[in-house]
Amino acid sequence: MLPDRKKQAAEIIKRLKKEYPDAHCALDHTNAFELLIATILSAQCTDERVNIVTATLFRKYPTPQDFINVSQSELEKDIHSTGFFRNKAKNIKAACRRIVEVFGGEVPQTMEDLLSLGGVARKTANVVLGNAFGIASGVVVDTHVSRLSQRLGLTAEKTPEKIERDLQELVPRRHWVMFPHWLITHGRRVCNARKPLCTQCTLADICPSRLEP
């Protein structure tokens, strides 16, 4: 089964790379710190909404120290529209405090250190390491990546951690950073959750979940 899945993964990569040469991280950022904050805010929230919020947020609070100095209540108001704002504000302040006190004001560049920050789990750490530092530490697994990996026959697992392990086995490490971007772009444009556009899909002939027209 594994060799077949590896062949499937290789063909998917080949086609999506050609189909979406413009695929990229959808969260607006100019540095690792902004990407970290944006990714924390993106939990249970659309990237579009996060980008609207951070357009103002990053001008107001350009450094970790700025987030430490602001009151919890004011930060909650600033990020209210992203949802779960109380917990996100708490995590952001905790992460910034540790960045300043432990890491000299710089976002750390290892999985272990990133996981020590408030509000940071593997997905967020992978996003920051891959997109801000070019470090392929793992494969980002969000709702699009989960759905498409299952539909395309790359995994039968349900949890992000187990899906990531399967994808790391199938996807060459040099593609770990871009593979999620290709899947996410495809998931948004073609293979959406409720009504996938199978007749327009470049992967239709190799997809075990395709719907007949």
Helix residue spans in the chain (DSSP H): 2-19, 32-41, 47-60, 64-69, 72-78, 85-103, 111-114, 122-132, 143-151, 160-170, 178-189
Q: What is the pLDDT of residue 212?
A: 76
Rounded Cα distance, 52 and 57, in Å: 9
> Which residue from 91, 54, 46 is spatially nearest to 187, judged by alpha carbons?
46
Confirm whether 123 is a catalytic residue: yes
Cβ neighbours of residue 182 closer than 8 Å, sequence gap 6 or more: 13, 16, 17, 19, 20, 23
- Cα 157 to the chain's mean position, in Å? 18
Catalytic residue among 47, 78, 123, 166: 123
Catalytic residue among 90, 142, 162, 205: 142
Round the CA-based radius of gyration of the chain to a whole number and report it. 18
Give me the average pLDDT of each 10-residue run along the chain (213 residues). Answer: 82 98 97 98 96 98 98 98 98 98 98 97 97 98 97 97 97 98 97 95 96 77
Q: What is the pLDDT of residue 3?
A: 62
Element housing 106 (H / E)? none
Q: What is the pLDDT of residue 11?
A: 97
Task: Say how many CA atoms lie within 13 Å of 4 toward its Cβ.
Answer: 7
Phi, psi of 129 (to 5 degrees): -60, -45
Rounded Cα distance, 211 and 38, in Å: 35
Phi, psi of 8 (to 5 degrees): -60, -45
Q: What is the pLDDT of residue 211?
A: 86
